[in-house]
Structure 1
Amino acid sequence: MIKNENIYVTKTFLPPQEEYNNILKRVWETKWLTNRGELVLELESKLKKHLRVSNVLATSNGTVPLQIALKLLGKGGEIITTPFSYIATTSAIIWENCKPVFVDIHPEYLTIDETKIEAAITSNTTAILATHVFGNPCAVDEIENIAQKYNLKVIYDAAHCFGVQFKGQSIFNYGNISTCSFHATKLFHTGEGGALFCNDKELEQKAFYTHNFGHKGTLDFYGLGINAKMNELQAAMGLSVLPYMDSILTERKKIIDFYNDNLNFSNLRKIKIRDNTAWNYSYYPVIFDSEEVLLRVEKTLNANNIFPRRYFYPSLNTIQFIKGANMPISESIASRILCLPLFVGLSKNNLVETVTIINKN
C-alpha cells in the first residue's frame, strides 16, 4: 500500500526556479552578496509600493526587528504584552533586559484585551508590545490612546500581517514601530527574513544604523548596533515571490472559503476578524470546545497523514523560564486552538478529508 503524502499546516511557496535563478545571476555579476546590495534596495522599494508604506527596512529575520525596537524603545523597563503569541515575542523582551507584563486576550479576536491594559501599567512601564494575531489587528486606536495618556511607546509584532489593511491603510503604519516576518512559512517570504516599519524619521534613522552595527559611513559610528541586514540571496527570493502575491491570496481565500462553507461549527468556532480589516488569509485556526476534543481530532488527522499545528501553544505565561501571572482566557484558548492546513497547492481531496475527520469528531 502506497502511503499518502504528508499534509502539513503549511508549505513554502516557491516561484519557478528559473525566475529565481535569473535574479541570482545579478548577484554573480556584481559579486555583491550582502551589505545592502542592489537586490535588497530593489526589494525594499517594491515592498513600499506593494504595501503602500513610506519605509521598509529589510532584515535578516523577523525577530531582530523586535529586538531593535525593544532596544530603542523598551529602555529596560516593563513591557505590557500578550501571552498569546509565538515565543519570539516574549523572548525578545527578556533578551533585551526588559520585563514582560502579560495582559489577557480578547476571547474572540484573540488579540491583547485593550480594556485590561491600563490596570497593568506601573511607573516602570515603558512600552506596549502587542501581536496582531493571525493577521487580525489589535484595537490599535484604543491602544494608541492609552499610550498617549501614559507616555508609552507602542511596538506591534505584525509577523503575520503582510498585506493586511486596517481602516484603509497598511497595518504596518500603526505604532511607533511595527515588525514583520518573511520566514519561509509566511505568506510572503525571503526564505528567512523580516522587516521593520517606522513612520518617525528620527526613529527610523536610529533603527537603520542599529541594524548595521551602528555605522556612520565606514569609519565612524552613530552608536550601538547589531548585524540585522538582509543579504542578496534572501532579497532575490523575495523579488521572485512578490509578483505572485495576488494569485497566492486568491488560492488561500478559496481554501478558507471551503473551510467556512463545510466545517460544522456547532462544536467549534473560528477567529473573529476585526471590523474594517482587509485580511490576508494567513492562517485558519479553529477553537474546539475542549482540549480533549482537540487531541482526539489531532490524533485522527495525524493517523491520516494530516498534520495541523497547535498554534499558539502553550500560553506564554505558563512557560517555565517566563513564569507569568495566570491568564485564564489565553490559557484556555491555547489549549483548544488548532491551525488547519492552508497553502497554495492544497488539493480538494485533502480539504475534504480534513473537514470530514473534524466534522465526525
Structure 2
Amino acid sequence: MSNKPIFVTRPNLPPLAEFIPYLEEIWENKQLTNNGPMHQQLEKALCKYLGVRYICLFNNGTIALQTAVQALELSGEVITTPYSFVATSHSLVLNGLKPVFVDIDPITLNLDPSKIEAAITPETTAIMPVHCYGNPCDVNAIEAIAKKHNLKVIYDAAHAFGVEDDQGSVLRHGDLSVLSFHATKVFNTFEGGAIICSSKEMKERIERLKNFGYENELTINTIGSNGKMSEVNAAFGLLQLNYMEKFLSGRSRVNSYYHKNLSSIDGITIVPSAGQKTSNYSYFPILIEDAYPLSRDELDELLKANNIIARRYFYPIISEFNVYKKNTFFVNHDTAVALNISHKVLCLPMYPELDESDLERIVGLIRSAA
C-alpha cells in the first residue's frame, strides 16, 4: 500500500494549458487590477452561478470581512462564535469592536440562537454567525432576534460557496455575507474573497471602501483599504467555474465513502448536515467520542505517523488563543459546548482527487484503532 502524503485538502487546479489563454488576454489588455475586464466577467459569472444580485470581489476573505464590518458602520459589541477561524473575530477587533462570544449548538456546531439574547447589551450592534463547515446557520431564528433588537447581521460564509437552502443561496441571508476564495476553499482564486450584498447603494459603498475610499479622482470622504482583486486572480476564478461540477462531484463521492465506512464505528460521530438543499462538501469533520479507544489527539498522531495529515478544525477555540486570553477586547460567555467540541473534532482529508486507495488507507487506520 502506498505511503504517499495525504493532506487535509488540496487546491483545485484545472489544466495549466487552459489558463494560458486567460493570461495572454491580460497581457493583451495590459490591465492587471482596478476593476479590469476579468474582474468584471468574474463578478457577472459569480452572480449567475450563486444566484445573488450583487457581489464585490476582494483580494482575500479577511479584508472582505473587515470591509463588511466597516460598510455597516458598526460600533460597540458584536455577538459571534468562538468556534471558527480567527479571521472572524480579528475582523471585529481590527475595526475597534468587541467580539462577544456565545456558545454553539452541539449538533450543527453553528452559533446557538437560544444563547444570543442573553448576551445582548445596549452596546450590541450586530451578530456575526458562521456557516461552519458549509452547514447553514439557523438563519430564521437569527433574523428574528436581529429584527427584534434592531441589529445588523453579517454572515461569515467562508465555507458556504454554492450552498443552498429551500429558497436558494444561503448567501442572501443577513445584511451582508462574506466568502473566502483562499486556495484551500471549494472555489478558489489562489487568494481572494467577496462580499454579497442586496442593493446597488451598498455595493457602491463597498467598492469605495476597498479602493481607499475614493469617490472619484479628487474625492475621498471615508477611510478605506486596498482590497481589490487582481486580473490574474479573477481569471483563475473564471477558469475554476468551468470545473465546479466536476470538483463538487468528486467531493460528494469522498463524502459518501466516509459516511458509508465510518458511520458504524463505535465512538466516531459524523457531524451532520444542517438540512441544506445543496451542499458543497467543503470539510468532513468527525467527533472522537469517549467510546473510541483513542483520544482525538492520539488518533491525529496515528494518522500523521502514517503520512495522513488531518486537521483539528477548530482547535483551540478563538477565546483560548493567548492574544485573546491576555487582553480585554472581548467578552466570553459560557462556551462549554464549543470548548468540548474543539477537543473532539478532527477534519479528515477532503478533496476531489482522493481515490479509493487513499480513502481505504484513512478509514482502515481509523477502523484498526477501534
- 2:282 maps to which residue? 282
* Structure 2: runs of 5+ lacking an equivalent: 326-331
Equivalences for 1:321-360 in 2 at 5 Å? 321-323=323-325, 324-360=332-368
**1:106 shift after superposition:** 0.3
- 1:258 maps to which residue? 257
Is 1:194 the equivalent of 2:193?
yes
Contact 2:102 2:334 in 1 (8 A): no
**1:321 shift after superposition:** 1.8
Is 1:63 the equivalent of 2:62?
yes
Stretch moving more, 157-166 or 283-292: 283-292
Contact 1:317 1:325 in 2 (8 A): no
- The 1-side partners of 2:200 and 2:30 are apart by 32
- The 2-side partners of 1:158 and 1:276 are apart by 14
- The 2-side partners of 1:167 and 1:301 are apart by 38
- The 1-side partners of 2:350 and 2:94 are apart by 32
- The 2-side partners of 1:151 and 1:47 are apart by 31
TM-score of the two chains, using structure 1 as the length reference: 0.96
- The 1-side partners of 2:40 and 2:270 are apart by 39
**1:89 shift after superposition:** 0.4
- 1:306 maps to which residue? 308
* Structure 1: runs of 5+ lacking an equivalent: none
Contact 2:163 2:276 in 1 (8 A): no
- 1:269 maps to which residue? 269
The DSSP-based 3-state class of the residue aligned with 2:129 is strand
**1:236 shift after superposition:** 1.2
Contact 1:317 1:326 in 2 (8 A): no
- The 2-side partners of 1:114 and 1:85 are apart by 16
Contact 1:173 1:199 in 2 (8 A): yes
- The 2-side partners of 1:200 and 1:359 are apart by 51
Identity %: 41
- The 2-side partners of 1:144 and 1:60 are apart by 29
- Which amino acid is 1:93 matched to? L
**1:188 shift after superposition:** 0.4
The DSSP-based 3-state class of the residue aligned with 1:131 is coil
The DSSP-based 3-state class of the residue aligned with 2:61 is coil
- The 2-side partners of 1:62 and 1:268 are apart by 32
Contact 2:54 2:200 in 1 (8 A): no
- The 2-side partners of 1:276 and 1:260 are apart by 17
- The 2-side partners of 1:20 and 1:168 are apart by 35
**1:325 shift after superposition:** 4.2
- The 2-side partners of 1:3 and 1:132 are apart by 36
Contact 1:209 1:222 in 2 (8 A): no
**1:310 shift after superposition:** 0.6
- The 2-side partners of 1:210 and 1:145 are apart by 29
The DSSP-based 3-state class of the residue aligned with 1:49 is helix
Stretch moving more, 266-275 or 344-353: 266-275
**1:38 shift after superposition:** 0.3
**1:26 shift after superposition:** 0.8
- The 1-side partners of 2:76 and 2:180 are apart by 25
Stretch moving more, 187-196 or 201-210: 201-210
- Which amino acid is 1:277 matched to? K
- The 2-side partners of 1:93 and 1:143 are apart by 19
- The 1-side partners of 2:282 and 2:30 are apart by 36
The DSSP-based 3-state class of the residue aligned with 1:63 is helix
- 1:160 maps to which residue? 159
TM-score of the two chains, using structure 2 as the length reference: 0.94
- The 1-side partners of 2:48 and 2:201 are apart by 22
**1:266 shift after superposition:** 2.1
**1:223 shift after superposition:** 2.3
- 1:241 maps to which residue? 240
Contact 1:39 1:232 in 2 (8 A): yes
- Which amino acid is 2:272 matched to? K
- The 2-side partners of 1:306 and 1:70 are apart by 38
Equivalences for 1:151-230 in 2 at 5 Å? 151-230=150-229
Contact 2:208 2:215 in 1 (8 A): yes
Contact 1:215 1:222 in 2 (8 A): yes
Q: Deviations over 1:132-186 (max 9, x none)?
A: 0000011111101100110100000000111000123111100001000000000
- The 2-side partners of 1:73 and 1:322 are apart by 24
**1:279 shift after superposition:** 1.2
**C-alpha spacing 1:349/1:276, structure 2 compared with 1 (3 Å):** closer
- The 2-side partners of 1:317 and 1:142 are apart by 25
The DSSP-based 3-state class of the residue aligned with 1:27 is helix
Q: Deviations over 1:292-326 (max 9, x none)?
A: 52112111111111000111111112122223344
- The 2-side partners of 1:160 and 1:24 are apart by 28
- 2:74 maps to which residue? 75
